[in-house]
Amino acid sequence: PAPLLRVEGLCQYFKTQDGRTVHAVESLTFDIKRGHTVGLVGESGSGKTTAGRAILRLLEPTAGQVFFNETDVLSLPSKEMKRYRQKMQIIFQDPFSSLNPRMRVSQIIGEALNTAGYPKGEARKARVEELLQRVGLQAEHADRYPHEFSGGQRQRIGIARAIAVEPDFIVADESVSALDVSVQAQVLNLLGELQRSLGLTLLFIAHDLTVVEYLCDEVVVMYLGRVMERGPCREVYARPRHPYTQALLSAAPVPDPTRKKQRIVLRGDIPSPISPPSGCVFRTRCPYATALCAAGVPAEQHVSDEHWVSCVRLHELNLQEQGRHDNAHQ
C-alpha cells in the first residue's frame, strides 16, 4: 500500500537580514506508512523542527513535495488546504506557551472542534469531557485555565486538542523534552496508546534517541538539514551504518547493558547552515572523512530492505568493521 505520507526533496531556506541563505532543510526524502510512528532525530540545528513545520505547511517550503494520501499538499490552494489541516495536526514542544493562558480548557479544545464544524451546545461539552478523559484528565478540568495544571497535564491538554478533530497524522515536536523524566514516560505511554487505539500515524521529532527507540517503528537521522541515515528502528539501533548515527548512539544511555559500545566523541560544533560544508555536510566532524567526502553530496545507498545511508565510504567502513569483528572472534 502507498504510504500515508511521502516527503520528496523537501527544501526549506530562509533569508537572513543581510541577504544570505540559511539552508535549514535540504532535499529531505522519506515516507511514513499508515499507522506507523517515525522518529525524526538530530541535534539542535539539524533542521528537524523546521522539517516538521514544512511538512504540515505551517511554513511555505522552498521546494519539494509532501504527499498526504497521494495528494501533494504543498501545491493545494489555501482553501483546499483547510480541509487537509484537520487531518494533519501538531503537538508543540512547549506545554507552557502553546496554550492560550486566557482561555479555559473547554475553550481551547472547543476552538479546535469549531474548525472541524462540530455542533455547539451539550454535544460539544460532552465531547470535550470525553477527550479530557481520553488523555487521562478529569471532566471537571474543562473549566480551568492552563496555569492551574502541571507541565505533563498541559501536554495532555495539547494532545486532547490535537486528537479532537480526529486527525490521521500528527507531528509531535519534541513533545516530551520540556518534561521531567518520570512525566515524560507517562506522556509517551499515552501517545503510544492513542496511536494504537486511534490508528494514528505519527512523526515524532526528538533529539533523544532512547525516546525514539521506545516509541517508533522507523527512524530518520538528520544532520545540518540533510538525512544521514533512515530505516527501521530495530535495524538502525542494532547496527547503525552512518558515522553520525554511530556517534549519536554511542553517546546515548543504553537500557540494555549487554549491548557494548565505545563512545565516539565528535570534534567541533555543528557548522552554520548559512555555509554548510561542501560534499558531505558531516565531513568537518566525521572521524573517517577523506578528500573523497568533499567531492560531492553522497547519494543515499541502499543497505537492506528500507534502510538507507548517505555516506560515500559506507562499504569500505563496513568492511573495516567486519574485519575487526572477524579478528575479535579468531
Smallest gap from Cβ 215 to ligand SF4, in A, equals 27
Give the distance, in angstroms, between the CA of residue 134 and the centroid of all CA atoms in the same chain. 23
Rounded distance, CA 19 to CA 246, Å?
36
Binding site for ligand SF4 (CB under 6 A): 243, 280, 282-283, 286, 288-289, 293, 298, 311-313
- Closest by CA to 225, choosing from 19, 61, 3, 23, is 23
CA distances from 34 to 28, 186, 191, 209, 215 (A): 19, 24, 16, 22, 15
Smallest gap from Cβ 46 to ligand SF4, in A, equals 14
Return the number of the residue (105 or 227) whose C-beta is nearest ligand SF4.
Answer: 227
Rounded distance, CA 140 to CA 169, Å?
28
Smallest gap from Cβ 228 to ligand SF4, in A, equals 7
Smallest gap from Cβ 25 to ligand SF4, in A, equals 18
User: Is residue 297 packed enough to be buried (19+ CB in 10 Å), middle (13-18) or exposed (0-12)?
Assistant: middle
Q: Give the residue carrying C-alpha cell 565505545.
A: 262
Return the number of the residue (26 or 129) whose C-beta is nearest ligand SF4.
Answer: 26
Return the number of the residue (200 or 281) whose C-beta is nearest ligand SF4.
Answer: 281
**Long-range pairs of 321-324 with CB within 8 A, sequence gap ≥ 24:** none
Return the number of the residue (76 or 297) whose C-beta is nearest ligand SF4.
Answer: 297
CA dihedral 191, 254, 42, 321 (to 10 degrees): -130
Question: How many CA atoms lie within 13 Å of 65's alpha carbon, on the beta-carbon side?
Answer: 10
Return the number of the residue (282 or 308) whose C-beta is nearest ligand SF4.
Answer: 282
Smallest gap from Cβ 249 to ligand SF4, in A, equals 14
Are the CB atoms for 37 and 217 separated by under 8 Å?
A: yes
Smallest gap from Cβ 243 to ligand SF4, in A, equals 5
Return the number of the residue (158 or 243) whose C-beta is nearest ligand SF4.
Answer: 243
